[in-house]
């Protein structure tokens, strides 16, 4: 069993930002309550030699309720244990990748290795902001991204091939039984290949990908093979 030890130096911070909506139901959740640590305050016993790192939680998780302090763990397990290791999201590229979360609940640290545990902590889903966070955390989308502005496609020196005339930004709309969320799956950041992903999030916290559509790619990366 992996054990996480937090020293008394850990403290918590809430970053102030804002939430707003526009005609696209643009969702900007507040930043999550993050676990802030000095270089020596957060220690992880990596019993399986997973090259494990603890990272600040992404902004997209700020819609989660309750607002437990949360951080992300990232691991690169070797091939011998990759198939058996518990991961909330895992995928293979040139190497193996595994993402989980750690959450502080009533002073205790809880490691979240499964969708069931995540839903136990944060379901039901009662807002568009929370639906965005669930879609981001639980959908099996490769490199999920929130994109609100496509101006970079027209930047000087850019050379994108665009497959759809109209591009819509990240959006959340309320539907029967839950929410539909628009996210994007990207390779090599914004500057390469991008796929729009429509995700259904039920009020119980179940997440299902409904549709994928390739939107554009950077011609400079034409030699990259899927």
Beta bridge partners of 53: 74
**Mean pLDDT along residues 185-190:** 68
pLDDT of 25 above 60: no
Q: Where along the chain do its domains lie?
A: 11-123, 144-221
Q: Give the confidence band of 85 by pLDDT, cuts at 50, 70, 90.
A: low
Question: Six-digit token pair at 36?
Answer: 């802030």
Most confident option among 22-26, 130-134, 191-195:
130-134
pLDDT of 203 above 80: yes
Q: What is the pLDDT of residue 30?
A: 52
Q: What is the pLDDT of residue 31?
A: 55
State pTM to two decimals. 0.75
**Mean pLDDT along residues 100-124:** 90
Q: What is the CA radius of gyration of the chain?
A: 18
Q: What is the DSSP string of 102-137?
A: EEEETTEEEEE-SHHHHHHHH-S--SHHHHHHHHHH
pLDDT of 83 above 80: no
The CA–CA distances, whole Å, from 129 to 64, 126, 135 equal 8, 9, 10
User: Which range (45-54, 87-96, 167-176) has the least confidence?
Assistant: 45-54
Q: Give the confidence band of 18 by pLDDT, cuts at 50, 70, 90.
A: very low
User: Which range (105-109, 130-134, 203-207) has the least confidence?
Assistant: 105-109
Q: Give the confidence band of 179 by pLDDT, cuts at 50, 70, 90.
A: very high
């Amino acid at each position: 069993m992996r054990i996480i030890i937090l020293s008394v130096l850990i403290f918590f911070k809430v970053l102030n930002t804002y939430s707003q909506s526009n005609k696209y139901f643009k969702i900007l959740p507040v930043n999550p309550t993050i676990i802030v640590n000095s270089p020596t305050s957060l220690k992880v016993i990596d019993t399986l030699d997973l090259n494990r790192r603890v990272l600040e939680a992404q902004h997209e998780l700020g819609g989660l309720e309750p607002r437990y302090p949360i951080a992300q763990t990232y691991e690169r397990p070797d091939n011998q244990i990759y198939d058996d290791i518990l991961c909330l999201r895992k995928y293979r590229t040139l190497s193996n990748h595994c993402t989980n979360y750690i959450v502080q609940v009533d002073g205790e640290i809880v490691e979240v290795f499964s969708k069931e545990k995540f839903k136990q902590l944060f379901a039901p889903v009662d807002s568009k902001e929370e639906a965005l966070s669930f879609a981001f955390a639980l959908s099996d989308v490769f490199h999920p991204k929130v994109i609100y502005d496509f101006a970079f496609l027209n930047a000087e020196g850019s050379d994108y091939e665009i497959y759809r005339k109209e591009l819509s930004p990240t959006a959340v709309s309320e539907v029967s039984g839950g929410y539909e969320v628009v996210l994007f799956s990207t390779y090599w950041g914004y500057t390469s290949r991008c796929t729009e992903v429509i995700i259904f999030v039920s009020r119980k916290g179940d997440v299902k990908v409904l549709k994928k559509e390739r939107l554009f790619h950077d011609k400079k990366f034409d030699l990259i093979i899927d």
